[in-house]
């Protein structure tokens, strides 16, 4: 018998069938993918330059323009997750020596400041408390930073998924523009779940993700640039430090520059099919109905949580993100026990905190097709069960 040259045998784990259990994903994302979107992602491949794929990309672009409420020509989906869009925004907008002002009110501001510093820009992280448009503090709380640091970009997160806080944006774009600064907004956790108007709110760069309200698998990230942002990119003296995320190349591949489309990378075509269907479902439902759906189910959840004696982390109702609700970890419980109990006994995912909120909160997401009254009842029943079973006599 011939002896094999192989020193590494085929892994036993790969000789068994793929195991994917049924779970209700009520964490801060990803959310469950409905059958229509799953089916789209499972279609046979086409070539990444085939006219039918370019047509799907055009449809995605129109869907993003609708979801963002923008007419921006430079609108496309990045082949990557939300982080990838975040990096794409920074590394295309900024050059060495630029100053960025980062509003930090949770983990996403911290990450943005980290990315800005890695690019050699003078990232200035600034703690900022949530302020409502009516209290006279917003958006003027940014004025001092704009005057002192003269940043070329201000970064802010619309839906802070680590704390469950919704950041108002009204007036911020105008203020930034008065100070010669561009406004960059992260709407990964909020898009489709609560109003945002890219053009009317004078947002220069807006990005999101596919796996939250849009209910597509992770791996593609909508992004759009205003004319002012485009002009800043055109004025660059140096090339962006990433070829893969170079917006000049991507704009061409997405048909945003009026030139014949050229191969840049082999796009994740099946992810684009899924994203196209996620955007189509949002367009069919309508943004306003989607916002209302998220508002109503979040309100039902908050009431049910209070009835269970749980304390909402975000006190002010209008500061609550309708897609992700945060609860203080109840006294006498370990947050890890509650999460494990829901997973093991109810096949429901909820999560603990992230970054600055670790150990402080539990997070429940109701996004897109997962935002239903039935799911609110299910998670409340599961939590009631957990509260009865997980109390520790002494922590």
356 touches ligand PMP by CB under 6 A: no
Distance (Å, whole) CA 287 – CA 120: 38
Give the residue at shortest CB distance from ligand PMP: 82
Distance (Å, whole) CA 74 – CA 65: 10
Residues in the chain, overall count: 395
159 touches ligand PMP by CB under 6 A: yes
Contacts 24+ apart (CB under 8 A), 142-145: 142/101, 142/103, 142/172, 142/175, 142/176, 143/175, 145/101
271 touches ligand PMP by CB under 6 A: no
Contact set for ligand PMP, span 213-252 (CB under 6 A): 218
The site map against ligand PMP for 102-121 (x = CB under 6 A) is ------x-------------
Of the pair 194, 252, the CB lying nearest ligand PMP is at 194
From candidates 63, 139, 173, 209, binder to ligand PMP by CB under 6 A: 209
- CA distances to 6, 98, 385 from 90, rounded to whole Å, are 46, 11, 45
Q: How far is the CB of 108 from ligand PMP (least distance, A)?
A: 5
From candidates 25, 27, 28, 65, binder to ligand PMP by CB under 6 A: 28
Tell me if residue 292 falls in helix, strand or coil. Answer: helix
Distance (Å, whole) CA 102 – CA 165: 16
Structure tokens, 310: 């749980």
Structure tokens, 152: 């070329």
Number of residues that bind ligand PMP (CB under 6 A): 14
* CA 363, chain centre distance (Å): 15
Q: How far is the CB of 191 from ligand PMP (least distance, A)?
A: 10
Q: How far is the CB of 104 from ligand PMP (least distance, A)?
A: 13
Structure tokens, 357: 């909120």
Contact set for ligand PMP, span 43-82 (CB under 6 A): 81-82
Give, as one character, the DSSP assignment of residue 19.
-
Distance (Å, whole) CA 34 – CA 280: 13
Contact set for ligand PMP, span 82-101 (CB under 6 A): 82-83
Annotated binding site: 363
From candidates 157, 201, 224, 252, binder to ligand PMP by CB under 6 A: 157
Comparing CA positions, the residue from 296, 73, 81, 290 lying closest to residue 188 is 81
- Given a contact cutoff of 8 angstroms between Cβ atoms, the answer to whether 28 and 108 are in contact is no
The site map against ligand PMP for 188-207 (x = CB under 6 A) is xx------------------
Contact segment (CB under 6 A) with ligand PMP among 10-18, 67-75, 183-191, 265-273 equals: 183-191
Q: How far is the CB of 356 from ligand PMP (least distance, A)?
A: 13
Q: How far is the CB of 329 from ligand PMP (least distance, A)?
A: 20
Radius of gyration of the chain (CA): 22
Q: How far is the CB of 112 from ligand PMP (least distance, A)?
A: 9
Residues that bind ligand PMP (CB under 6 A): 28-29, 81-83, 108, 157, 159, 161, 186, 188-189, 209, 218
């Amino acid at each position: 018998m011939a002896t094999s040259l192989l020193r590494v045998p085929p892994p036993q784990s790969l000789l068994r069938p793929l195991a994917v259990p049924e779970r209700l994903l009520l964490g801060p994302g990803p959310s469950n993918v409905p059958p229509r979107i799953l089916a789209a992602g499972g279609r046979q491949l086409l070539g990444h330059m085939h006219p039918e794929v370019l047509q799907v990309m055009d449809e995605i672009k129109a869907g993003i323009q609708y979801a963002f409420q923008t007419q921006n020509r430079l609108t496309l989906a990045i082949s990557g997750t939300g982080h990838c869009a975040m990096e794409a925004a920074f590394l295309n907008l900024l050059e060495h020596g630029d100053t960025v002002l980062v509003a930090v009110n949770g983990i996403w501001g911290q990450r943005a400041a980290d990315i800005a510093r890695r690019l050699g820009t003078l990232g200035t992280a600034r703690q900022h408390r949530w302020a409502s448009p009516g209290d006279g503090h917003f958006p003027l709380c940014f004025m001092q930073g704009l005057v002192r640091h003269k940043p070329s970009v201000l970064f802010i997160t619309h839906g802070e998924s680590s704390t469950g806080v919704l950041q108002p944006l009204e007036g911020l774009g105008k203020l930034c523009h008065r100070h010669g600064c561009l406004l960059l907004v992260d709407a990964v956790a909020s898009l489709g779940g609560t109003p945002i108007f890219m053009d009317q709110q004078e947002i220069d760069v807006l990005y999101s993700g596919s796996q939250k309200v849009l209910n597509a698998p992770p791996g593609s990230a909508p992004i759009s640039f205003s004319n002012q942002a485009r002009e800043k990119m055109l004025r660059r003296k140096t090339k962006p430090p990433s070829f893969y995320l170079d917006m000049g190349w991507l704009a061409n591949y997405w048909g945003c520059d009026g030139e014949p489309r050229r191969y840049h990378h082999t796009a994740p075509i099946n992810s684009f099919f899924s994203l196209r269907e996620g955007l189509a479902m949002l367009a069919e439902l309508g943004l306003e109905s989607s916002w209302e759906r998220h508002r109503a189910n979040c309100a039902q959840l908050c009431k049910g949580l209070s009835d269970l004696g749980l304390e909402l982390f975000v006190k002010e109702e209008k500061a609550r993100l309708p897609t992700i609700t945060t609860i203080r970890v109840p006294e006498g419980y370990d947050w890890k026990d509650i999460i494990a109990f829901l997973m093991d006994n109810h096949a429901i995912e909820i999560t603990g905190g992230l970054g600055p909120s670790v150990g402080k909160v539990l997070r429940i997401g109701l996004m897109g097709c997962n935002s239903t009254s039935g799911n609110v009842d299910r998670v409340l029943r599961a939590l009631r069960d957990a509260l009865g079973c997980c109390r520790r006599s002494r922590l």
